[in-house]
Structure 1
């Protein structure tokens, strides 16, 4: 009889919702160390040195006393998008994070003893996404084999690559097609030659693709070398749909006629944007 009454209750839509939430909670608590669905998995950052940033701007809130499982569940249920948390078993304390901690962020002023950092795993957001640029080398030399889409096709060290024409401040914008949180941007410099042409790159993120309306993720001063792989971490993490890379200083090269008047060319094998869709 009890089971029959329970089934009647669960047939009600509101009770089904409660049942689903209970199952998610139980599943999450049981699988804190492994995956219970990609959206609610938090992996340990093995590189975290136990240093907790002092500024409260990194955190949604801090609570104690807490268990590891309760801390994870609070992050999962947070109204503000929670990308991870810091937990101290010694202090039974929980700090919910709204931005990824980068190497620079970890060098704060508070050494937190046994603090550990758990974060949502990122995904590649840029693969095969729409690309626009200030110019296209192929428009001037159709047989060069350089196409805009090569920037995000997942292929590196290929004859064809992304290549703007020669201009003072070349740029490229990748449309992620969804509002996203950006953790870092990885640039694969050309592997053939002229690697030093990659310098003074500023990366911005925004809901608009208009440069002045975007927020700086990070910069790469350079100059680079042929075949370099450059990781620019957003500090703090940035939110938006569009990511733009732009050379913001005139070319310093004097022994190449293509660089006259300070002209640059933005040339890359690939760009990988890591983060999460929101």
Structure 2
């Protein structure tokens, strides 16, 4: 019985060593790919999420589901409006950023079909908003949607507005911006 156990243990070590070597090889390849991507697109390394914890508002509030739940960094909380014409959610980033991408996380357990007919806009003031994207939807429960703003939008405000009469429920919204990291 001891020999069988020892033999099985040795096989386990060899397998573990092979697996560890493969992981190290894959990690090295991934680092090379990321280095090339960063050389070809220097903005990638300066991309940063800038909406978390910032002041957000929405057109109405359904029970306890506050607008700040959609940019608190927690996927299990969410914002939710009441049923109304053209419901919206908006975040004030506090200053103008170079907005490259806006991400929307759909609730995990419900309501993916509420994410449809969305105008996703950003701008330096409420009267100078530019469309980043339009999402016809509908989304599915648990989706992670990413919208590239091309060209980059200089914006302090990001707004997600639904066309039609319904409600809007967002698990999380991330705003990815190019942040200058120069040391002064």
Q: 1:230 — aligned with what?
A: 145
Structure 2 unaligned segments of length 5 or more: list them.
Answer: 1-34
- Please give the TM-score of this superposition, normalised by the length of structure 2: 0.73
2:72 corresponds to 1:153? yes
Give the equivalent residue in structure 2 for 1:90: none
1:272 aligned residue? 174
Q: Could you say which structure has the larger radius of gyration?
A: 1
1:118 aligned residue: 42
2:58 to 133, 136, 141: 133
How many pairs does the alignment contain?
A: 146
Mapped partners of 1:275, 1:244: distance in 2? 15
- Bigger relative contact order (CA 8 A; separation at least 6): 2
Please show how residues 55-70 of structure 1 align to structure 2 within 5 Å.
none
Contact 1:181 1:277 in 2 (8 A): yes
Q: Give the whole-Å Cα distance in 1 for the aligned partners of 2:129 and 2:36.
A: 31
Counting only pairs closer than 5 Å after superposition, residues 165-244 of structure 1 correspond to structure 2 as: 165-210=82-127, 213-244=128-159
Q: Structure 1 44/180 Cα, relative in aligned 2: closer, same or farther at 3 Å?
A: farther
Cα distance in 1 for residues equivalent to 2:110 and 2:86: 20
Distance 1:165 1:174, change over 3 A: same
**Whole-angstrom distance in 2 between the partners of 1:128 and 1:117:** 28
Q: CA RMSD of the aligned region, Å?
A: 2.0
Secondary structure in 2 aligned to 1:175? Answer: strand
Q: Which whole-Å deviations, capped at 9, do the CAs of 1:84-122 have from their partners, x for residues lacking one? A: x8xxxxxxxxxxxxxxxxxxxxxxxxxxxxxx3332421
Paired with 1:137 and 1:44, the residues of 2 have a C-alpha distance of: 47
* C-alpha distance after superposition, 1:109-168 (max 9, x if no partner): xxxxxxx33324211100100001111113xxxxxx312111110000x2x410011112
CA contact (8 A) 1:153 1:270 kept: yes
Richer in strand (by share): 2
CA-CA distance at 1:45 after TM superposition: 2.1
Structure 1 unpaired stretches of 5+: 1-42, 47-84, 86-115, 139-144, 251-262
User: In the alignment, what sits opposite 2:23?
Assistant: none
The answer to whether the 8 Å contact 1:167/1:265 transfers is yes
